[in-house]
């Protein structure tokens, strides 16, 4: 393992371990130890390790949690290390709360894909004819989806209630909270010359029955950002906006392998890994207004030292 890349953890004495796509989670009775690694997931597998990505995701989420705690409580208890969040134990809700301010996307579940096929009525909102790809919507829209290990499904709030996935009162509350979070995020991003295009939120219920914002918030992994200064001109010319996402690395793997079927994938090009790392650092610095300060290496030893007081015996 390279000194500045955190691929995984194997800590003993910190509770039961669960491995997510990006985070290693150690569960204790009343708290979670969330360690954000540098794993980069696409095609339902790990395709690369991006230096400092874990630190960026963890610290940027913490920054946003602090900016939005007046809207909804969050799961953060403490931040003992740049890659670690000590969090409240919550029961996660079985939905992803997706809010979109622009009509865009290329996947099967994207708003633009459905719209281009003729769909106008999305259950809780209706879109007018004549919209173009990447256009700003008159108001942000709420497009929740189910959470699944195989394939997420976008359903309207009415469909979710009818399927007994969630109660009417809770989905209405989540829609109001998620919309407020998006509007706050979009306003802060705009001050930094960025457009918060769309984003997803995850919520849980804590031991006291209170709604909690969990997971991550307004990071490059959970959100789409565009460069604001060039958006209008590029949109008018039918060009794609300047973006900050990881699509270029996904495309490379699709061109050089069958990433869903090949047992072994080629190694990600070093220059692309470096570029993606640079993008993560750049957007974090622009949003927080603070220079990125890499944590001490080796990362794993630093983490073990910093969280030693949270061990369970």
The Cα angle at residue 190 between residues 68 and 121, in degrees rounded to 5 = 80
The partner residues of 218 in beta bridges, in order of sequence, read none
Q: Does domain 92-236 bear CATH number 1.10.260.40? A: no
Give per-residue pLDDT as tens, 233-270: 999 999 999 988 788 898 899 899 999 899 999 999 99
Residue 1: per-residue pLDDT:
39
Average pLDDT over residues 204-219: 97
Residue 150 has a pLDDT of 60
Closest CA to 134 of 115, 156, 120: 115
- Report H helices in 94-167: 111-116, 157-162
Rounded Cα–Cα distance for residues 161 and 176 (Å): 16
Three-state secondary structure readout of 219-241: CCCCEEEEECCCHHHHHHCCCCC
Query: pLDDT (tens digit, 9 = 90+) per residue, 18-59?
Result: 999 999 999 999 999 999 999 999 888 999 999 999 999 999
What is the model's pTM?
0.94
Q: Provide the percentage of residues in the chain whose pLDDT is more than 90.
A: 89
């Amino acid at each position: 393992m390279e000194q500045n890349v955190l691929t995984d953890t194997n800590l003993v004495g910190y509770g039961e371990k669960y491995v997510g796509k990006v985070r290693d989670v150690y569960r204790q009775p009343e708290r979670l130890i969330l360690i954000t690694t540098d794993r980069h997931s696409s095609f339902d597998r790990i395709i690369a390790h991006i230096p400092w990505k874990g630190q960026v995701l963890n610290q940027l989420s913490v920054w946003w949690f602090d900016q939005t705690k007046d809207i909804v409580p969050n799961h953060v208890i403490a931040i003992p290390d740049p890659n670690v969040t000590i969090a409240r134990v919550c029961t996660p809700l079985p939905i992803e709360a997706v809010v979109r301010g622009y009509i865009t996307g290329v996947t099967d579940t994207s708003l633009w894909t459905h719209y281009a096929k003729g769909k106008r009525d999305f259950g809780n909102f209706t879109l007018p004819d004549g919209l173009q790809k990447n256009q700003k919507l008159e108001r942000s829209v709420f497009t929740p989806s189910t959470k699944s290990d195989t394939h997420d499904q976008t359903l309207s709030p009415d469909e979710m209630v009818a399927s007994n996935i969630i109660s009417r009162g809770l989905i209405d509350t989540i829609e109001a909270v998620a919309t407020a979070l998006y509007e706050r995020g979009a306003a802060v991003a705009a001050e930094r010359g960025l457009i918060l295009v769309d984003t997803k939120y995850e919520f849980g219920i804590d031991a006291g029955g209170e709604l909690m914002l969990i997971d991550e918030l307004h990071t490059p992994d959970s959100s789409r950002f565009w460069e604001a200064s060039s958006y209008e001109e590029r949109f008018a010319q039918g060009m794609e906006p300047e973006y900050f996402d990881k699509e270029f690395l996904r495309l490379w793997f699709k061109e050089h392998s069958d990433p869903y079927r090949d047992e072994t994938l080629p190694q990600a090009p070093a220059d692309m890994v470096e570029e993606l790392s640079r993008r993560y650092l750049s957007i974090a610095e622009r949003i927080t207004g603070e220079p990125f300060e890499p944590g001490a290496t080796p990362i794993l030893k630093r983490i073990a030292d910093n969280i030693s007081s949270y061990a369970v015996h």
